[in-house]
Amino acid sequence: MLSGTESKEQAQKIAAEIGKHYLGRPDLIELLLTGLLSRGHILLEGVPGVAKTTLVKAFAGALGVDFQRIQFTPDLLPADITGSYVYNMREQEFDLRKGPLFSNIVLADEINRAPAKTQSAMLEAMAEQQVTIEGERHDLHSPYMVLATQNPVEQEGVYMLPEAQLDRFLMKLHLGFPRREVERAMLRRYRKAPAAIEEVITAEDILAWQRAAEEVHISEELEEYILDLVSFTRKHRSVLLGVSPRASLGLLRASRALALVRGRDYVIPDDIRLLAVPIMAHRMVMHSEAELEGIRAEQIIHDALKRIAVIRKDAKAS
Ligand SMILES: Nc1ncnc2c1ncn2[C@@H]1O[C@H](COP(=O)(O)OP(=O)(O)OP(=O)(O)O)[C@@H](O)[C@H]1O
Ligand SMILES: [Mg+2]
């Protein structure tokens, strides 16, 4: 079994490799790794040109696994991403031509440009790790991770993801404009062509790492903490729809994974606190009055983190 120290070193090596191409937000790299170890999918949101594609490409490159990119467009059909049977004249039979969903890491670029039918083919792939082609099910690769990007600016020809689909993403991460120092470093670095990305680990390493994450210890008190956080979102008067049980499960799995990425075999409250916004905010639907007042899901979660304490079991008993 992978030790905490080995895990931390592995994470640092990957982060260093990604850092050769993507500058500025080591916290995002840590969250991508956490998503990978908890077998989750991630939605990256940000305006054009803030390095969404650059980050995902560097991430996949450092992992040494198969990588496919799908550019979503309004005319993209489900079969374009799942694959289809093509008639082979010579053999006089139908061959399966696998689509880009057959890969370890799938970059679904601008997912909100695809029509609903294609989005739901994507959804099946994400939730079931399989696709249906002409009524027949096919397993997808392992490890499997979808990294989708979307542009938050409402435009024509954009189909905003419905809540049900957002819930399938373990986390939503927001990429903003870089700080001035980061942007300056980027300008200087781009005078010379970037080096090719080196593969730091293999698919086998990732599978072992994922298994190790499942063994990370979480105390009963922290389980209760997770339950308190999710129920806060369900009871809040500004919230129309609180987070689903998929969110509590996500918090559990991701906090174990983050603990391991940071070199621990047990979860601490800070793991959960750090993940609360990326895992819960995108699943909450606010009341329209609250929305008009400018109250955001993130604020509700920050409020929950401030108000809810981790209650030690011995303290509860007394
Ligand atoms: N933080 C950064 N680190 C390294 N390069 C960056 C950074 N920010 C922007 N760039 C550079 O800016 C350019 C645009 O980045 P990229 O194509 O990844 O953006 P994007 O967010 O995917 O944009 P779009 O939404 O248009 O697809 C690339 O050349 C990229 O290398
Ligand atoms: Mg892009």
- What would the pLDDT profile of 153-167 be if each residue is shown by its tens digit? 666 666 667 777 889
CA of 109 to the centre of ligand 2 (A): 6
The yes-or-no verdict on residue 193 having pLDDT over 80 is no
The domain boundary, picked from 162, 179, 205, lies at: 205
Per-residue pLDDT band for 318 (boundaries 50, 70, 90) equals very low
For 161, other C-beta atoms within 10 Å of its C-beta total 23
- pLDDT, tens digit, for every residue of 109-154? 988 888 888 988 898 899 999 998 988 899 999 999 999 998 876 6
Tell whether ligand 1 has an atom less than 6 A from the beta carbon of residue 24. Answer: yes
- Count up the domains in the chain and report the number: 2
Are 200 and 14 in contact by the 8 Å Cβ rule? The answer is: yes
Give the domain CATH number at 264: 1.10.8.80
91 in a structural domain: no
90 in a structural domain: no
β-pairing, 105-109 vs 145-150, is parallel
Tell whether ligand 1 has an atom less than 6 A from the beta carbon of residue 49. Answer: yes
Burial 260-276 (b: 16+ CB within 10 A, else e): bbbbbbebbeebbbbbb
Q: Which ligand is nearest to the CA of 181?
A: 1
Q: What is the signed CA dihedral for 79, 83, 87, 92, rounded to 10 degrees?
A: -140
Tell whether ligand 1 has an atom less than 6 A from the beta carbon of residue 54. Answer: yes
Range of the domain at 235: 216-317
Does this model's pTM top 0.75?
A: yes
> In a 10 Å sphere around its CB, with 0-12 CB exposed, 13-18 middle and 19+ buried, how is residue 153 labelled?
exposed
Are 246 and 233 in contact by the 8 Å Cβ rule? The answer is: no
Name the residue of 27, 54, 70, 107 whose CB sits within 8 Å of the most ligand 1 atoms, as the mutation to test its pocket: 54
Tell me if the bond preceding 26 is cis, omega within 30° of 0.
Answer: no
The protein residue whose alpha carbon is closest to atom 27 in ligand 1 is 48
The protein residue whose alpha carbon is closest to atom 16 in ligand 1 is 51
Check whether residue 49 and residue 169 sit in a common domain: yes
Q: Which ligand is nearest to the CA of 44?
A: 1
269 in a structural domain: yes
Check whether residue 193 and residue 274 sit in a common domain: no
Give the domain CATH number at 182: 3.40.50.300
**Which residue pairs, CB below 8 angstroms and at least 24 apart, start in 313-316?**
313/220, 313/221
- pLDDT, tens digit, for every residue of 229-255? 999 999 999 999 999 999 999 999 999
The yes-or-no verdict on residue 195 having pLDDT over 90 is no
Are 225 and 219 in contact by the 8 Å Cβ rule? The answer is: no
- In the structure encoding, which two tokens stand for residue 171, read together? 């986390």
